[in-house]
Amino acid sequence: MLKITELTKKFGANIAVDRTNITVKQPAMIGIIGRSGAGKSTLLRMLNCLTEATSGEIVFDDLTVTQLRGAARRNWQSQCAMIFQQFNLVPRMDVVSNVLHGTLNRRSTLSTMFNLYPQSDIEQAIDILDRLGIAEHAPKRAEALSGGQQQRVAIARALMQDPRIILADEPIASLDPMNAQVVMQSLRRIHEEDGRMVIANLHTLDTARRYCDRVIGMRAGRIVFDGTPEQLTTGVARDIYGADENFSEAATSTEIETLNQPARIPVAAV
Amino acid sequence: MALADTASQSNPTVSEAYLAMVRQKRIFGGILLAIFVALMVGGFLVAQERNAGDFIPGLPQVLDFPAAVVAEAWENRAQLPGFIVQFFPSLIETINIAAVSTLIGGLAAIILSLFSTRGLALFPRMIPVVRRFMDVLRAIPEIVIALVLIFLLGGGPVPAMIAIALHTAGALGKLFSEINENAALGPVEGLASVGANWTQRMLLGVVPQVAPNYLSYALLRFEVNIRASAILGFVGAGGIGYDLRNTITFGTGKFDEAAAIFILLFATIVTFDQLSSVVRNRLTHGRAL
């Protein structure tokens, strides 16, 4: 389905992503972990074509993503939704308009200029907001919402694109534990109910273990681990983060439960 | 604070170095002030030398002309309301020229500004070209463009409108592009990630963020354009400036009409100044209009 071959990105002398190979055969929920600067964000941005690859290629089904230009590239971007750490919504516009931005690739510039969207799209947008539990905020300006609510608006915008892949770049890094849980559960639910592929950069190990089917560890631009959450032992994690014996998973956990019981918690019914 | 205190106590060289820097700055400041004063005095003396008449003896005469206007207007004060009514249609024409040119120039400025902002421009290599083009628009005086257009198109409000709109596009384009530079790029990137094209990214990602600032500068420009449009009347572009030129000439005995026009212009500019400052206040403090 998705095949990344020898993908490399250089910023001047720095190599952000170094000859990466990833093959995904069926839709899965994939977590990418690693230190800051390990190349996680660059990898996702290359998938969405926000950053251009230096060499190597990304192939999705029969489409060579790295060769796309102009309208074809924008069309790919519409099929490959991206969720950002800082939400990247338009703050002064209302929530529904922000969700409707997911359809921009299908709409003419003139109609979007006057904020004219078909009735059916507006209803669909509100349905998606309802599914994520924030329909009551529909008419508010995006900037009036809390971080967790804004991130769910961003997820709604992603869903409005009806994407084949959802990329999430540190989706919960600026959220409190409660909102982080809601957002991660929403992403997991989208994967389970719609069968969409979700690739998320995560900054905590326990989130990756708890929500993902497959975990990829990156260090200094290279993939150093690729396996199931069960295979991700503390020793492997120390390797990924380049940490010593003092490294403890509970210390970085954002889960409320870890305060009392550091053991692994099974995925809650979502 | 505690840290800083211990640092300066334990390390007196830091405070010495800082005080030395302060002394140096004061010396430079003093030298600059002396140069400034010398230039002003020298320039004034040169101007006094080269003036056709004597500058200082001429000073008291400066007030003769306004005094003549006020005296004549005061004699015919009963006719002033009539003159004000008579010249009101010309005032409307002047304001119309200013409004249309602000609108057209402002819209052109939005497009020019988006093409000349680093990080947003569609063709980044064209940024210097667009900027120089805006410089040209600002550099050519409105009155020159208006004179050329009046020669080509004949007198009337349209040449004035085009002349002011061109200048407005250049002036506002520069200001707008500075506002655009401060716009957050997050929303733009968010829209890029859904596959929006450049126009959609600009209209939905940048313009909503900066629209209140655009409006605030456009209102300021509208005031400036009312004055500009009145001045262009002097060269035959219609409006109240044309009437002012006909009445203010020495020896025609129409100073009372000129006074009425001055009152109209003054009232208009005060009105629009107050209006735009109210609107701008509401925009910056977020209250609904």
B94 in a domain, yes or no? Answer: yes
pLDDT at B67 (0 to 100): 83
Average pLDDT, stretch A178-189?
A: 90
B229 vs B90: CA distance, rounded Å: 11
Q: Is B15 in the same domain as B110?
A: no
pLDDT in tens, B148-195: 988 888 878 888 999 999 999 999 999 999 999 989 899 999 999 999
A81 vs A194: CA distance, rounded Å: 14
- Chain A hits for B187, Cβ within 8 Å: 88-91
B58 in a domain, yes or no? Answer: no
B59 in a domain, yes or no? Answer: no
B227 vs B224: CA distance, rounded Å: 5
Confidence class for position B230, pLDDT limits 50, 70, 90 = confident
Q: Is B86 in the same domain as B198?
A: yes
Q: Is B31 in the same domain as B70?
A: no
Please answer yes or no on whether B195 and A157 come within 8 Å at the CB atom: no
pLDDT in tens, A10-45: 998 899 999 999 999 999 999 999 988 899 999 999
Q: Kind of pairing, strands A2-11 and A55-60?
A: antiparallel
CB-based contact, A144 to chain B, within 8 Å: no
Lowest mean pLDDT of A137-141, A233-237, B4-8, B103-107, name the range.
Answer: B4-8
pLDDT in tens, A71-119: 999 999 999 999 999 999 999 888 999 999 999 998 888 888 877 888 8
Domain range for B43: 2-50
Q: Is B131 in the same domain as B238?
A: yes
Q: What would the two tokens of residue A237 be?
A: 């994690």
Q: Is B104 in the same domain as B14?
A: no
- Chain A hits for B194, Cβ within 8 Å: 77-78, 81-82, 101-102, 104-105, 157, 161
3-state DSSP assignment of residue B151: helix
Q: Is B87 in the same domain as B152?
A: yes
- Is A4:A56 a contact under the CB 8 Å cutoff? yes
pTM (2 d.p.): 0.72
Q: Is B82 in the same domain as B155?
A: yes
pLDDT in tens, B231-255: 888 887 778 888 888 887 766 777 8
- pLDDT beyond 50 at A263: no
Q: Is B156 in the same domain as B112?
A: yes
- Is A199:A4 a contact under the CB 8 Å cutoff? no
B265 in a domain, yes or no? Answer: yes
B57 in a domain, yes or no? Answer: no
Q: Is B71 in the same domain as B44?
A: no
Confidence class for position A270, pLDDT limits 50, 70, 90 = very low
B38 in a domain, yes or no? Answer: yes
Please name each of the domains of chain A with its CATH number. Answer: 2-259 (3.40.50.300)
Residue of A44, A86, A98, A101 best to disrupt the B interface, most CBs of B under 10 A: A101
Which of B186, B197, B204 has the CB atom closest to A101's CB atom? B204
At residue A31, φ and ψ (nearest 5 deg) are -110, 135
Please answer yes or no on whether A93 and B204 come within 8 Å at the CB atom: yes
Where residue B183 sits, what CATH number does that domain have?
Answer: 1.10.3720.10
pLDDT at B250 (0 to 100): 66
Which of A76, A86, A92 has the CB atom closest to B208's CB atom? A92
Q: What would the two tokens of residue A53 be?
A: 């690859």
Report the residue of chain A nearest B185, measured CA to CA.
Answer: A88
CB-based contact, A105 to chain B, within 8 Å: yes
A264 CB-side CA count, 13 A: 14
CB-based contact, B191 to chain A, within 8 Å: yes
B10 vs A104: CA distance, rounded Å: 63
pLDDT in tens, B106-122: 999 999 999 999 889 99
Q: Is B200 in the same domain as B98?
A: yes
Q: How far is B6 from chain A (nearest CA, A)?
A: 34
B84 in a domain, yes or no? Answer: yes
Q: Is B208 in the same domain as B129?
A: yes
Q: Is B9 in the same domain as B144?
A: no
Confidence class for position B105, pLDDT limits 50, 70, 90 = very high
Provide the mean pLDDT of chain A.
88
Average pLDDT, stretch B266-280?
A: 85
Confidence class for position B289, pLDDT limits 50, 70, 90 = very low
pLDDT at B7 (0 to 100): 43
Which of A50, A87, A109 has the CB atom closest to B197's CB atom? A109
Q: How far is A172 from chain B (nearest CA, A)?
A: 16
Number of domains composing chain B = 2
State the Rg of chain B over Cα: 27
B187 in a domain, yes or no? Answer: yes
- Is B162:B145 a contact under the CB 8 Å cutoff? yes
Provide the mean pLDDT of chain B.
85
- Chain B hits for A104, Cβ within 8 Å: 191, 194-197, 200, 204
- Chain A hits for B210, Cβ within 8 Å: none
More confident residue, A221 or B54: A221
